[in-house]
Chains A and B, each alone.
Chain A
Amino acid sequence: MTSSEGVAPAAGVTRRRRARPGKVLAPYLLSLPAGLWLLALFLVPLVVMLSLSLQTCNFGTGACVMTWHWGEFWSQVSLYHSQFLTSIYFAGAATIIDLIVSFPIAYWIAFYGGSKKNFFLLMLLVPFFVSFVIRTIVWEFILSDQGIVLGTLKNAHLLPQNFHILATGYAVVAGLAYNYLPFTALPLYVAIERIDKTVLDAAYDLYASKREAFTRVILPLTIPGMFAAFLLTFIPALGDYVNQQILGGTNNTMIGTVIQNAFLTNLDYAGGSALSAVLLAIALVGIFAYARLLGSRTIEEYL
C-alpha cells in the first residue's frame, strides 16, 4: 500500500493526457448496460407497480384499467393491517435474537480467530450451501410433532403428547432467525474486525475496566455494523413468506403470503401492488433512516 501515495499526482497527469473527445463518453458507455438493465427491470417495474395499485382489476382475467383509485391503499391496509403488524413483530423478534446470538461469535472470531478466521467465517456461511427452501423444510422436520426433537422428548415424557411448535409463531421466528443469522453475524464481524486494537489498548492504559472498554469503546464502534445487520436481516425477513408458509401453517400469516396470494392465486394485481407499495414504503423508511445516519456507501462496505 506504500505506492498509493504516489498515485495521486500520477492520476492528475493521465487525466490531462487522456482529455481526448472519445474518452469523455467512457463512464457513460461503461455504465450503460447495467444502467439500462436496472432502469428497465428495477425502476420501471416499481413505477408500474405504483400505477397498478391505482387501477381496478378484474379478478377472473387479471385485466386492469386505470381508475386512479387511491382507496385501494386504504382498503388493503385496513384489511391486512394485522398481517403487517405480524410481519414487523416476527421480523423484529428474529432480528433481535440474531443480534444477541451472533454478537459473541462475531466478537470471538474477530478477536480470537487468529489464522483460522477464514475457516470460522466459512462455518458461518455453511447454511448457504443448502438451498433456502430445503433449509426451511429441514426445520419443519426437526420441529415436527413426532420428529427427532419433540418425538424423543415426548417419548421420554418430558413433554406432554399434545405439545407442538410447528404452526405457531415461535416456529416462524425460529426459522427466520436461523435463515438470516449469517446476514447478522457477518456485518457485525466486519465492524468488530475493523476496530483498531490500539484504541482498546489505550482504553486499558487509561484504566478502563473490561466492562467499560466493552460498553464505551467496542459497542459504539460496532453500531454501523449493527445497522447493516438490521438492514440485511430485518428487511428481507419482513417480506419473507417461505418460513411462514412452511413452518407457520395457516395461522400467523405474514404480509408476504398475502402479497403472493394476491398476485399468484387471486390475480388481484391492484391489491397486491398496493400492499407491495406499502411494504416498500415501510422498508424505505428504515433504509432512508440508515442512509441519513450513516451514508449509503456504508452498506456496501458491510456486504
Chain B
Amino acid sequence: MTATYAAAEREASRTGHRAPRRRRRHRRGGWLAVYSWLVIAYLVLPIFVMVAYSFNKVTTGLPQVSFTWNGFTTQWYQQWNNIPGLTQAFWLSIRLGIASTILATVVGTLLALALVRYRPPRFRGKTLVEQTMFLNIAAPEIVLGASLLGLFVTINVARGFTTLLLAHVAFSIAYVTVTVRARLAGFDRSLEEAAADLGANSWTTFQKITLPIIMPGILAGALMAFALSIDDFVTSNFVSGNVVPFPVWVYGATRVGIPPQVFVFGSVIFGIGILCAFASIVLARRDA
C-alpha cells in the first residue's frame, strides 16, 4: 500500500507535466489497454466469487460453504454473528490492530524524524538502524514469526494478546518509518525556523508547524500499520497461543470446513475498505 502512497506523493510533488514532444498514435494504448483490463479482471475475480459464495445456500445442514452453487440466500448476513469463535476473533483483530497501529505509528514516526534530520556525525549508528529496518522488511515473515516464538518459549512468556501486540508492532515499525520518511523528505525546514524566529519554543513549533505538515504521512503510515496487523497470519499463527485473531481462526477453519459467515465478514470488510479508498481518491481529486 505504501507504493501507491509513494507514487501519489511523487505525482503530487511534481510541479508540472512536461508537454509531450511527440503524440503517440494510440492515446489509450490499444491492445495494452485490453490486456491491462483483463489483468484487473483477474485480480478482482476472486472477490466476486467470495461475495457470491456469501449468498450461497447450504443444503447439507453442516455450517460449511459448499463448493457447488445451491441458490441465493441472505441467511448468513442475518446470522452474521452466529459463530462465537469467529466474532470473537474478529473483534480481537480489531482491538489488536488499533493498539498496534497507535504504538507503531508513534514509535515509527519518531524514528523517521531522527533519520531525516540527523546525519552520522551527530547521529552515530544511523546506518545500523537503516540496515536493521531493511532486514526487517526484507526477511521472510516465517523467520520473524518462528524466531519470536523461539524467544517467547526461551524466556517462558505465555502467548496471548501481549505477545501478539509486541510482534505486530515489531513488524509494523519499519513500514511506518519508511512511509513517514517519504513525506518528511520534502519538508521545508525554513517554516520551522520562521516559527523559532517568532519566539516559538521547540514543542510549540513541533505541534503547530511540523505535525500538521507531516500529518498525511503519519496517517498513511498508520493505515499501513493497521492493514498489516489486521491481515497478518504468519507471525500471528506462531505467537497467538489460545488467543486467536481473525486470519488465524479462518485458517484453522479450513480443516473442518469454512462457515459461510467467513465470507460475510470478508465481503463486508471489503465493501467498507473499498468505499473508504474511493472516497479518499475522490476527495484528493477535488482538492487538486
Tell whether A109 is near chain B: CB-to-CB under 8 Å.
yes
Q: Which of B225-260 contact A (CB under 8 A)?
A: 227, 230-231, 233-234, 237-238, 246-247, 250-251, 254, 258
> Could you tell me the distance between the alpha carbons of A195 and B92 in the complex, rounded to whole angstroms?
44
Proximity string of chain A (49-80) to chain B, C-beta cutoff 8 Å, 1 when within and 0 when not: 10010000000001010000000000000000
- Select one of A14, A112, A263 contacting B146, CB under 8 A: A263
Given known A10-B190, A197-B18, contact A190–B233 (CB-CB < 8 A): no
> Could you tell me the distance between the alpha carbons of A272 and B123 in the complex, rounded to whole angstroms?
38
- Kindly list chain B residues whose C-beta atoms are within 8 Å of the C-beta of A131: 230-231, 246-247, 250, 266, 269
Tell whether A84 is near chain B: CB-to-CB under 8 Å.
no
Task: Determine whether the beta carbon of B110 is less than 8 Å from that of A4.
Answer: no
Task: Determine whether the beta carbon of B151 is less than 8 Å from that of A44.
Answer: yes
The stretch of B33-41, B77-85, B211-219 that contacts the partner chain: B33-41
Tell whether A147 is near chain B: CB-to-CB under 8 Å.
yes
- Kindly list chain A residues whose C-beta atoms are within 8 Å of the C-beta of B115: 31
Task: Determine whether the beta carbon of A27 is less than 8 Å from that of B148.
Answer: no
> Could you tell me the distance between the alpha carbons of A131 and B1 in the complex, rounded to whole angstroms?
14
- Kindly list chain B residues whose C-beta atoms are within 8 Å of the C-beta of A1: 13, 15, 186
B contact residues, range? 35 or more
Tell whether A220 is near chain B: CB-to-CB under 8 Å.
no
- Kindly list chain B residues whose C-beta atoms are within 8 Å of the C-beta of A187: 3
Closest B residue to A15 using CB positions: B122
Proximity string of chain A (5-46) to chain B, C-beta cutoff 8 Å, 1 when within and 0 when not: 011001101100000000010111011011101100111111
Task: Determine whether the beta carbon of B4 is less than 8 Å from that of A122.
Answer: yes
Task: Determine whether the beta carbon of A49 is less than 8 Å from that of B250.
Answer: no
Of A148, A151, A231, chain B has the most CB atoms within 10 Å of the CB of: A148
- Kindly list chain B residues whose C-beta atoms are within 8 Å of the C-beta of A156: none
- Kindly list chain A residues whose C-beta atoms are within 8 Å of the C-beta of B237: 260, 264
- Select one of A4, A102, A140 contacting B188, CB under 8 A: A4
Across the A-B interface, how many residue pairs have beta carbons closer than 8 Å? 327
- Select one of A4, A48, A302 contacting B3, CB under 8 A: A302
The secondary-structure label for the interface of chain B is: helix
- Kindly list chain A residues whose C-beta atoms are within 8 Å of the C-beta of B94: none
Of B1, B7, B108, B144, chain A has the most CB atoms within 10 Å of the CB of: B7
- Kindly list chain B residues whose C-beta atoms are within 8 Å of the C-beta of A239: 140-143, 234
> Could you tell me the distance between the alpha carbons of A273 and B85 in the complex, rounded to whole angstroms?
31
Closest B residue to A189 using CB positions: B7
A contact residues, range? 35 or more
Task: Determine whether the beta carbon of A121 is less than 8 Å from that of B170.
Answer: no
Task: Determine whether the beta carbon of A193 is less than 8 Å from that of B10.
Answer: yes
Binding site for B on A (CB under 8 A): 1, 3-4, 6-7, 10-11, 13-14, 24, 26-28, 30-31, 33-35, 37-38, 41-46, 48-49, 52, 62, 64, 101-102, 104-105, 107-109, 111-112, 117-135, 137-142, 144-148, 151, 178, 181-182, 186-187, 189-190, 193-194, 197-198, 201, 204, 231, 235-236, 238-242, 245-246, 256, 259-260, 263-264, 269, 272-273, 276, 279-280, 283-284, 287, 290-291, 296-297, 299-303
List 15 additional A-B contacts (Cβ < 8 Å) besides A272-B150, A303-B2.
Answer: A10-B190, A33-B107, A41-B151, A45-B144, A46-B147, A48-B154, A101-B39, A112-B33, A128-B231, A130-B50, A133-B250, A133-B254, A190-B7, A193-B10, A259-B146
CB<8 Å pairs between A and B, sample of 25: A1-B15, A4-B186, A27-B122, A28-B114, A30-B111, A31-B110, A41-B148, A42-B135, A107-B32, A112-B33, A130-B266, A131-B247, A137-B250, A141-B53, A178-B42, A193-B7, A197-B18, A198-B18, A240-B234, A241-B234, A259-B142, A260-B238, A263-B150, A280-B139, A301-B6
